[in-house]
């Protein structure tokens, strides 16, 4: 009996440690950041998710655990987007927007934007927090890409619509009969995306956070 109780306490401890739904945040356990429910990126020494976006095997979720992808949904990260949980009175609807929740835990149409340089983070208290290098939002940056590229319908580089820090840009390309895209991070020598020239530059454009 006591042994079972200990096991339960131990399992709960693990659950709390790994089930924080961190999104776009580098995990010190795995050295990757979950960037959507089933995708992750490696992290730089500065703890910024960067480079290739890896997809977890089918029927697994990205997690902050050392094995990165898990079949156990309880350990899934990056699954707090567009969710009313009955505790936090709003839900993040994109990396930089949130909406109020109603009494039956549905997202209402009262939508608000965070200030420039902030990201939406599901937490008790303030929905918008200062973004450290474009990281930490509860919603995936990757969900917005296919929409953007369908709308642009042209190959090329575009500012990331939901990254006010200008560190990320979207490269759109044709994929069969539709449009798709990838998110790229500007290199650390030229960390900012200049929307006028569609290139990465060393000095921060005035319009960026």
Please give the residue ranges that form the binding site for ligand NAG (CB under 6 A): 42, 46, 48, 51-52, 58, 93-94, 97, 132-133, 143-144, 161-162, 188, 191, 194, 196-197, 205-207
For the CB of residue 17, give the shortest distance to ligand NAG in the complex, in Å.
Answer: 22
Residue 19 or 84: the one with the smaller Cβ distance to ligand NAG is 84
Give me the residues paired with residue 129 across strands: 119
**In 78-196, alpha helices (H):** 145-152
For the CB of residue 63, give the shortest distance to ligand NAG in the complex, in Å.
Answer: 16
Residue 19 or 34: the one with the smaller Cβ distance to ligand NAG is 34
DSSP class of 73: G
Pairing of strands 168-175, 156-159: antiparallel
Residue 19 or 56: the one with the smaller Cβ distance to ligand NAG is 56
Pairing of strands 199-201, 32-36: unpaired
Cβ proximity of 23 and 39 under 8 Å: no
For the CB of residue 143, give the shortest distance to ligand NAG in the complex, in Å.
Answer: 6
């Amino acid at each position: 009996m006591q042994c079972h109780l200990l096991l339960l306490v131990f399992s709960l401890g693990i659950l709390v440690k790994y089930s924080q739904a961190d999104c776009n945040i580098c995990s010190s356990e795995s050295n990757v950041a979950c960037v959507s429910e089933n995708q992750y990126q490696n992290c730089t020494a500065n703890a910024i998710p960067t480079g290739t976006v890896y997809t977890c095997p089918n029927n697994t979720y990205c997690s902050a655990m050392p094995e990165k992808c898990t079949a156990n949904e309880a350990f899934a990260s990056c699954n707090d987007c567009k969710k009313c949980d009955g505790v936090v009175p709003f839900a993040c609807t994109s990396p930089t927007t949130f909406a109020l929740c109603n009494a039956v835990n549905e997202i209402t149409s009262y939508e608000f934007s965070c200030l420039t340089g902030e990201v939406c983070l599901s937490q008790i208290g303030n929905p918008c927090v200062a973004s450290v290098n474009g990281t930490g939002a509860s919603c995936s940056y990757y969900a917005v890409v296919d929409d953007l590229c369908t709308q642009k319908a042209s190959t090329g580089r575009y500012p990331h619509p939901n990254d006010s820090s200008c560190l990320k840009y979207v490269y759109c390309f044709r994929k069969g009969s539709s449009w798709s895209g990838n998110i790229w991070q500007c290199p650390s020598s030229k960390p900012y995306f200049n929307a006028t020239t569609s290139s990465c530059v060393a000095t921060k454009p005035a319009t960026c956070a």
